[in-house]
Amino acid sequence: MKCIERLEGCLDRDEMKRLVEETLPDRDLQKVLLIHPDYTRVDFSSTLVPIVHRELKKRGLKTLHTLNASGTHRAMSEQEVRKKLGLFNEDFVMFNHEYANPNALMNVGELSAEFVSQKTMGDLQQPLPVTLNRLFFEKYDLIIVLSGTSPHESTGFSGGLKSIVPGIAGPDVVGLFHWAAVLIGIPRLIGLIDNPARDVINEACRMAFQKVRSPVIFYNMVYEETSSGVLAKGLYCGNGYEGALEAYRRAAEASKKVHIVYIDKPVKRAVQVIDENYDEIWTAGKGSYKLQRPGVIEPGGEIIIYAPHIKIFHSNRDMDRAIRQIGYHCKDYVKEFLKKHPNFDRNVAAHVINVRGDGRYDPKTGKEECLFNVTLATSISKEECEAVSLGYRSPQSIRREDFLNEDSLWIEHGGKFLYELRKNE
């Protein structure tokens, strides 16, 4: 594993170029697959990928395939991919991951019922197939997996093997690890390097790497978003399965220092100002996730997701419909719902719990008590918000000056930083 790190400053192109030169195989690389982050990540792919591309050309590159590790997010247009990768005039073949298309997936094994039961605290007790995008198993001279690392609600930290599962995985294993995560709960998961959800990812990927026919190299990025742009803080490189694990751990340790914001006391309300790269509640929900560490929001407090550009819960009609069917509720409520609807998508079930946070539900009385309130200040109507048990504020009513006091937080680049009480540091 090799890396460059500059947490108090930022990396420059020359440093990135030297690491890429040192880590790319010095041999003929005519056909290459690049698996990359999607539109929801604002990182330094557009700086790094052109460097990688130039070095690949020196090694004889003739065919470059790119695969958007989108998980269950929407597809990207060619223009979006070119902007993301900084490859505006170069020739390459672009692929979007199709998580719901069985023909685009390959079965690589099965997670045992015992393993599934252990990681979901006994909630699920059946084996689950591991399916991944077929491109990952084609013969390439090299597969490059590019990812960014920051605190993540379902995996502790993003990056590394997460680009494979759920990045290019099928719905069953994605639903499993999201459900494993939600049973533990965001407050006890986010910002932890090792956790049961990561165990699911690692085991599924271990199976996959037994069938991969190409050498695989991982580049993990750590970065900070600022008002003046993205600052590259670290780049971590590892080869194969074990190298991916080591690069992830080093990147996650750096992310702890970059992406955790400490506050001195709980706040009554927080406004997460959501950037336009989060264009649905499915991803903008991170504005709630990153404030759920114990004690950050006062009991009964309010998290406001401020995103006037958002008009939908999910761009996929089926998933949007499922969200509207179940609404946003705490885990106890959702578990009761699943007893009546056992085939309901657990990926959606995990999402609505994650947004709504911890709470209690009494099925006898129908009374639900959540620790805090979640309010949308988006282009989703008041009627739609209330129908899914979320609060509503008109976006026009949100003024920054109203939240610049000791009881409030106004957070630019919403959903990107994890908040923690200083006493828990």
Q: Are 291 and 268 in contact (CB under 8 A)?
A: no
Asked whether residue 26 carries a pLDDT value surpassing 70, the answer given is yes
CA distances from 178 to 31, 173, 189, 348 (A): 34, 9, 12, 9
Distant-in-sequence, close-in-space partners of 226: CB < 8 Å, separation ≥ 6: none
Counting beta carbons within 10 angstroms of the beta carbon of residue 344, is it exposed (0 to 12), middle (13 to 18) or buried (19 or more)?
middle
Cα(405)–Cα(180) distance, rounded to whole angstroms? Answer: 37
Quick one: average pLDDT of 229-255? 97
Question: Is the previous residue joined to 166 through a cis bond, with omega within 30 degrees of 0?
Answer: yes
Q: Say what the alpha-carbon torsion angle 390, 38, 320, 399 is, to the nearest 10 degrees.
A: 30
If one compares 246 and 425, the residue with the highest pLDDT of the two is 246
Give the model confidence (pLDDT) of 139-164 as tens digits. 999 999 999 999 998 889 999 999 99
User: Which top CATH class is 2-259?
Assistant: alpha beta
Distance CA 366, CA 352 (A): 18
| Domain 264-424 grouped into CATH 3.90.226.30 | yes
Tell me what pLDDT residue 196 has.
86
Rounded Cα–Cα distance for residues 414 and 239 (Å): 33
- CB 288 within 8 Å of CB 354: yes
Predicted pLDDT at 425? 57
- CATH code 3.40.50.11440 region(s) in the chain: 2-259
Which amino acid is located at 129 in the chain?
Answer: P
CA angle 32, 34, 39 (to 5 degrees): 160
For range 4-31, the mean pLDDT: 96
Intra-chain end-to-end CA distance of the chain, in Å: 29
pLDDT tens digit sequence for 358-402: 899 999 999 999 999 999 999 999 999 999 999 999 999 999 999
What pTM did the predictor assign? 0.86
| Residue ranges of the chain assigned to CATH 3.90.226.30 | 264-424
For residue 46, which of 230, 224, 227, 228 has the smallest C-alpha distance? 230
SS3 sequence of 227-274: CCEEEEEEEEEEEHHHHHHHHHHHHHHHHHHHHEEEECCCEEEEEEEC
Q: Which residue has the higher pLDDT, 73 or 242?
A: 242
CA distance 89 to 418: 37
User: Distances in Å between the alpha carbon of 400 and those of 114, 264, 302, 324, 372?
Assistant: 51, 21, 15, 30, 21
Q: Name 69's Cβ contacts closer than 8 Å, sequence gap at least 6.
A: 35, 36, 37, 38, 97, 145, 147, 163, 164, 167, 168
Quick one: pLDDT band at residue 123, thresholds 50, 70, 90? Answer: confident
pLDDT > 90? residue 313: yes
